[in-house]
Chain A
Amino acid sequence: MTKDEHFEWLLWLADDALILAQRLSEWCGHAPVLEEDIALSNIALDLIGQSRAFYAHAGQLEGLGRDEDQLAFFRTDRDFRNLLLVEQPNGDFGDTIARQFFFDQFALLRFTHLAQQSFDTEVAAIATKALKEVRYHAAHSAEWMIRLGDGTEESHQRIQESVNRLWEYTGECFEPNSFQTAAEKANVLPHAESAHKEWLATITSILSQATLSVPNGTWMQKGGRQGGHSEHLSYILAEMQVLPRTYPDAQW
């Protein structure tokens, strides 16, 4: 694997975590109940911690003197490599939970593999630590899927709509592309096709517990890994980056 390829998939890890964290933090002070407000903020903070570790590592690997802040705050939307899934708007609570559910189950597979690989031991160490957080996130979102799906008539209908709406963004998690192939060859990322199957089996089992149906659509959105994002990302970045871009040397 070349250094460019290595740097690239480190950005996948970091950007997925950072953009989802930024989205989740929009709930702070607005969640349906106080307890859930804090839970979502906790998850956001876990994800920010993960992204920092991956950015710092990516910056060192790149060797151009970019630190985690520069990678987070001084790149434009075309440079971001996150999944389209994580930049989708929060919508209602069900949309946020469905998005989180799809992502958490994907992250669980990814981090389990990352923790065991030996190509990049720094990433293995970060993943081992993050895995505890990701397991909690996955339990939290799965629990909510079941509660909402198997809840009232309204909650069932609305969470099913969220699942259907976000379904087309799930394929990108397992998209075969040249970087993915390089990472698979180095055995650093799980094999896309088999991970997809494993993911689908878990998703199907939890959705069936939640009395929800798995959408059968096969057309999937893509582009995030190549820097082709939905319009949402620019707004996220504008809000997230405005301060460091306006005052580049600002100290906390």
Chain B
Amino acid sequence: MNQSSSDWPLWEVFVRSRQGLSHKHVGSLHAADAGMAISNARDVYTRRQEGVSIWVLPADAISASSPADKDILFDPANDKVYRHASFYDLPDEVKNM
């Protein structure tokens, strides 16, 4: 694709697939503004009935954790099994836990 696509800012796209579920990150795309981003997201990510709602946000508005901080951020949770909510019997009615 040519120059113009790199002139447009990058947007991250979140799609809610059904009522009651949360929006999920599905990918990214280029667009000149938020309106075009939603319209492009509709065409690129929901054309096979994937969604009921779309969020887009400028990729540069996202602050991400650094891979270098992986150890200090995530390792401490690994060895504390007692903090995991995995010892409860879930009723069948709870579908999305």
Contacts and interface: CB of A to CB of B under 8 A. Distances in A.
Interface in A28-43: 32-36, 38-39, 42
Interface in B32-83: 32, 35-36, 39-40, 43-44, 47
A28 B30 CA distance: 18
Chain A interface residue bracket vs B: 10 to 19
B29 interface: yes
B30 A35 contact: yes
Nearest to B31: A35
B2 A39 contact: no
Chain B interface residue bracket vs A: 10 to 19
Contact of A42 (B1, B31, B35, B47): B47
A143 interface: yes
Given A38-B44, A42-B47, A147-B32, A33 B39 contact: no
Given A42-B47, A147-B32, A34 B39 contact: no
A143 B33 CA distance: 12
Contact of B36 (A32, A42, A143): A143
Interface string A132-154: 00000001100100010000000
Nearest to A37: B1
B4 interface: yes
B4 A33 contact: yes
Contact of A34 (B5, B35, B36, B47): B5
Interface in B17-36: 29-32, 35-36
Interface string A60-83: 000000000000000000000000
B35 A39 contact: no
B43 A34 contact: no
Q: Is the interface of A mostly helix, strand, loop or mixed?
A: helix
Contacts of A147: 32, 36
B8 A33 contact: yes
A32 B32 CA distance: 13
Contacts of B1: 32-34
Given A143-B35, A143-B36, A147-B32, A32 B43 contact: no
Nearest to A36: B40
Interface of B: 1-2, 4-5, 8, 29-32, 35-36, 39-40, 43-44, 47
11 contacts: A32-B2, A33-B2, A34-B44, A35-B31, A35-B40, A38-B40, A39-B39, A39-B43, A143-B35, A143-B36, A147-B32
Interface of A: 32-36, 38-39, 42, 139-140, 143, 147
| Interface pairs A-B: 9 shortest CB-CB | A35-B40, A39-B43, A33-B5, A38-B43, A42-B43, A38-B44, A35-B29, A34-B1, A33-B1
